[in-house]
Structure 1
Amino acid sequence: MRREELILVGITAIWGSTFAVMKVGLESLPPFLFLAYRFGLASILMFAIFRGRLVKRESLKPGLILGITLFFGHGFQIVGLEYTSPSNSAFITSLYVVFTPFVAYFLLHERVRARDTLSLGIALTGLYLISGATIHLNHGDALTVVSALSFAFQIVLVESFRGHDYLSLTFWQIFWNFVLSTAVSVLMEKPVIPTAPAAWGGIIYLVVFATALTFTLQLRYQRFVPAYRAALIYSSEPIFASVVSLIALREVLSLKGYIGAALIMAGIWNEIRKGSPAAEPAKPL
């Protein structure tokens, strides 16, 4: 494996670890305030690093549209994480890969292939098993499915805004996510300044490593990796999440859960295998 690919593996491992970090952080902070801290500080840090390259007026409106979908994705995900495990959250969130072709059909009228339908069927079977082999999803898993659908909309919309500066677009997404998270937190949650070291440690880790560092490295090195290989590397995120949750939180899935997780991964890998148009790497922020 080449150096650039190893860096993408490291990025993916960091992203995978964020599910356990957020789960611990929710013990000290309400969910939307947690997001407000994360994306507010990330906005400040990105502006400090990239400065004038970020604030481009032509990216403001597209950034708002993308920021709304990103807000729904992260909002449903973190609220769902209060009621489900980090591993379940990670594997179910990754369903955005198999949802994306159908969202692209709905928004852009792109053709849905037989492979897309097969991948979706395999992954939904996995969802059924990882959620306890019942058609009645628990509250957390159901919210996370909506999160995955929101991320799929975000990815398709990013494609439609391809002509805009990617760096500026990313900044505005993060900024508007901060604004919307703050607004919901002010309306629905009690203001809290975290005092627990674990809470601040989690926020700083998410801001510095899971946002600023990973984004910068991704921007620099992903262009040297074939699209299908990058997509394959990124698809391992829920596996890293499960390993970190096992080590840090002693979280173990049931046998049905592991079979379900394997089926979700099978559906994703079928969707992004070499030669597939879906192999273009797409990872929600």
Structure 2
Amino acid sequence: MKQRNAKILLIIVIASRSISYLLSKIGLNGIPPLELLAIRFALTTLILLLLFHRRLPLLTRHVWKAAGLLGTFLFACMACELISLTTIPSSTAAFLENTSAIWVLVLMAIISHHWPGKQVLTATVLLLIGIACLTLQGAVFHLAPGEIISLTGSVFYAIWICLTARLARQCDPFLLGILQMGFLAIYSTIGMVLFENPVLPADRTTWSAILTLVFICSVFGFTFQPVAQKYTSAEKAGLFTALNPLIATVLGVIFLNETFTPIQLAGAIYILLGIIIVQVPKKYLHKTNRCENGTTTSHTSFHA
């Protein structure tokens, strides 16, 4: 897969998951958070196994270990997200979880012993400003337990993105995407049994939210992200998550008759600028810098 196609796939994957906050909030009205995760990922795993069971003979011990590691951190992220949604607005959760862009940069800087360049740092600042403008619409923000849990989830999400970028190059990324759903189902079911009183969803609205989460956000979204990340960097994958609240806002305008406020419009512009900046090829920037340096050198020599 070409890098350009991988980026397009990653954007589509993020777009497919942009409705997860709203759907999860709806689902939580009928059942507890861990039960919602258990049903969602058990159904996802069953569907994926039925569709792609012929790939199972390709499984190796290394793939199992890698998928288990990814599933662990993704479960931690998802559990924090849903638990926080029981106490804080979905807009606040969307903002805090998408601060993962910063954590990805920090983690990759620690791993590679090299801090990102001005291009990535500038894009990150623009994206965070844009996310804040889109999501924190009059919400009272303070670090209460719900916010802390959501922020912790963003760290787990960043670790998952960094691990996915590395493991997707070592293993079959599609098998990784399928197996991690299975581990999510197992962890969620164990947590549900230990900490909750499961109640079978009785209303159509809850089931509609769960099934949409299954097919759009999980079967397609989480499963194909490792495939896309095999061909792009963890830093860019982290920055692309800023599209999540932007797309969610656009969907609200289209389907819920919501309107862009001036602040949200500014946020959308900041996010688009950040994405554009990070896509400018480094070789072009280096070429521009060389031209500028050459002009400066020539100018100095002339005066000498």
Q: Report TM bin, short chain.
A: 0.7 to 0.9
Aligned to 2:103: 99
Contact 1:118–1:267 (8 Å) recurs in 2: no
Aligned to 2:48: 46
Contact 1:99–1:120 (8 Å) recurs in 2: no
Summarize the alignment of residues 124-273 of structure 1 with structure 2, pairs less than 5 Å apart.
136-161=142-167, 162-214=169-221, 235-245=242-252, 258=264, 261=267, 265=271, 269=275, 272-273=278-279
Superposition deviation, residue 119 in structure 1: 4.6
Contact 1:39–1:178 (8 Å) recurs in 2: yes
Partners in 1 of 2:125 and 2:220 — Cα distance?
35
Higher-Rg structure is 2
Contact 2:25–2:85 (8 Å) recurs in 1: yes
Partner letter of residue 86 of structure 1? S
Partners in 2 of 1:9 and 1:104 — Cα distance?
21
RMSD: 4.0
5+ long unaligned stretches in structure 2: 284-304
Aligned to 1:67: 71
Cα deviations by residue, 1:116-145 (Å, 9 ceiling, x for unpaired): 444555555667775569873344333222
Distance 1:126 1:16, change over 3 A: closer
TM-score, structure 1 as length reference: 0.75
Superposition deviation, residue 13 in structure 1: 3.7
Which residue of 10, 15, 18 maps to 1:16? 18
Cα deviations by residue, 1:198-246 (Å, 9 ceiling, x for unpaired): 11111111112222245677789x69x999xx96876422122234456
Superposition deviation, residue 177 in structure 1: 1.4
Partner letter of residue 184 of structure 1? G
Identical columns (%): 24
Given the alignment of the two structures, is residue 83 of structure 1 paired with residue 50 of structure 2, yes or no?
no
Distance 1:163 1:51, change over 3 A: same
Partners in 2 of 1:45 and 1:128 — Cα distance?
36
| Count, aligned residues | 272
Distance 1:115 1:6, change over 3 A: closer
Tell me the secondary structure at the aligned position of residue 18 of structure 2.
helix
Contact 1:63–1:172 (8 Å) recurs in 2: yes
Distance 1:249 1:185, change over 3 A: farther
Contact 2:127–2:271 (8 Å) recurs in 1: yes
5+ long unaligned stretches in structure 1: 278-285
